Amino acid sequence: MARKQISENDRIRQVLVNKYNIKLTDLATKMGISYPVFSKKLNVGTLTTLKEIEKYTGISVIEMQNAPAGFFHYYDPDTGEWGGIWKKNS
């Protein structure tokens, strides 16, 4: 079964909500914008938006982006801490 391709904005939401338990409405408020404006920014997913999110959360811009083909995001199985982007074994 083929894996569903995760879009860039899905990856951003996945990291913020699922990995770090950040409420998007709370983050929007912290950033001083309404949730609808914040949601539109996520849908576009520009580097500027990612840098702004990084500023408020401390989450690396790279962690919020999809890994390139042949690579994956590594999370330590014991701590859950993000360990970077690793190359898949061939």
**4: helix, strand or coil:** coil
pTM: 0.81
pLDDT digit string (tens) for the chain, length 90 residues: 444 445 667 899 999 999 999 999 999 999 999 999 999 999 888 899 999 999 999 999 999 999 999 999 999 999 999 999 999 986
In terms of phi and psi (left: phi > 0; alpha: psi -120 to 50; beta: otherwise), the region of 84 is left
Domains of the chain: 11-87 (1.10.260)
